[in-house]
A and B are shown apart, each in its own frame.
Chain A
């Protein structure tokens, strides 16, 4: 009994913190989404679901939603595939030092501030006339690509950058997960004549279940909320809104157009999407937590 009281007592500060800085703002966001809210006005009127009705008929929102789903769908799948593949390749090395070196090398982009990396790519790698990417293409006789100015290419450019900048974190997680798999499974498989692919498919992949669940959920949530690269690398919203995602639309509505009620409604929509996808993903991927 005393222990329980002590535990509750110790947890009070963190719960208070969550209540004030996480739960409170979420509830406030819901409330604002039902108002015609300009923070500079003394009074703001309650409009019920009018902001949500406006969502349905807003073609720019549909474009932002489509862009967001495409970005998240493609980037998360590729991110997880590449990071798992690289983690597996790194784990082949017997030397701990070599493994540590490669993990550090892949993790470096994660350490740099996302805004700084975005600026470097936008100003040095992607520019059409002077960028490194087109210089390299020129050496192999390929015509320059308008990486950030062509509506058909822009989102793919952002996807490539995002994979580069984010993959290191998942590589570390998968590496830790792979290292945690008991080696006797692989020894037994080798004795049975299993190939590298078979070992990966029937041992590594299933036993990475809990790591995979965590990686997918965290990657999905973080990618839905990504904003920095869209803010820095995309000029305004991109040609024909091809670089507009839900987070940048929320920012635009709230701080450029001062329509915080509608911005909050979009944020509620984003919250609902992330919530539903996370629930579905958890349902599909029920994990056996024991080896």
Chain B
């Protein structure tokens, strides 16, 4: 082969790779573009350390629920009740901790278990009685919204004990001598970035050594350099305010766990199979009903956690807590590339989807765009993202 044909070959390979992975890079690029756009429009307010920290705190519960929702959507179902469940669990937490003075640790455990139980109650009808999840969770949405109102008796209950508030408004303790820059947080960020790059490198070497076609080297280097820079820069910004928020640590850990489960484990693969073709999955020995049931239990637990985070952040449980969360959560999954027909969707995508929604909410608020047009714009972005997906698939 001459050099020329090799070069042409390489080029074709690159083009093919880009085409196949357009969706993933496209998502990241749009998030980047949206951030740059608002950064410029808001004269740099978006990425100010204070605002960035707030952005994380404001969206943490959406991201947490999006992880569970992704699994539910991948099995071909939907959960409309998550907002109400989060609100209800927040209310229960308030009643337990404020009215009955239960310590926050047992109270948290009770609340998470309650979330699991709620998920089980709904998942049971969906998985074993084959009632469409849309209907079951629509019913759940009404039931738990009502129950939240009932146990709060229409009042706001609060404030919480300071230890519980730390869940949302606390930051990780500073271990090093602090010069106002929170070096621990910066170091954790740098360590995380290094670990991710090393992991990617390890995977790549392993793939190459087994003759698997990995992404072209140029892409790989560029991607990892950008990833490293972005994480370190982000950590630097966060560190220069008050350091890493506790909730961000919880969120990152959950993202890591769910990304691993969905992409690397047999259970994850089976969940995708259920959504891809439930009958074929069943005939392949996969316990489709049990998996569907478990995705709802998991969703319930995560909705409960989100409810706790939200209540701790507001420092009070209100009857209106959780209102409309389900819409943001579901939108995050679909913007992130999940298919409404099931079987398709990634944890990374859902997280980026949630971040796109969060940045847009935040940026538009800073710009002083009213809540009315914010909704219009968010709706159009959702439609646009899904249209783009469908168009890409048809090509």
Question: Do A and B interact?
Answer: no
Residues of B whose CB lies within 8 Å of any CB of A are none
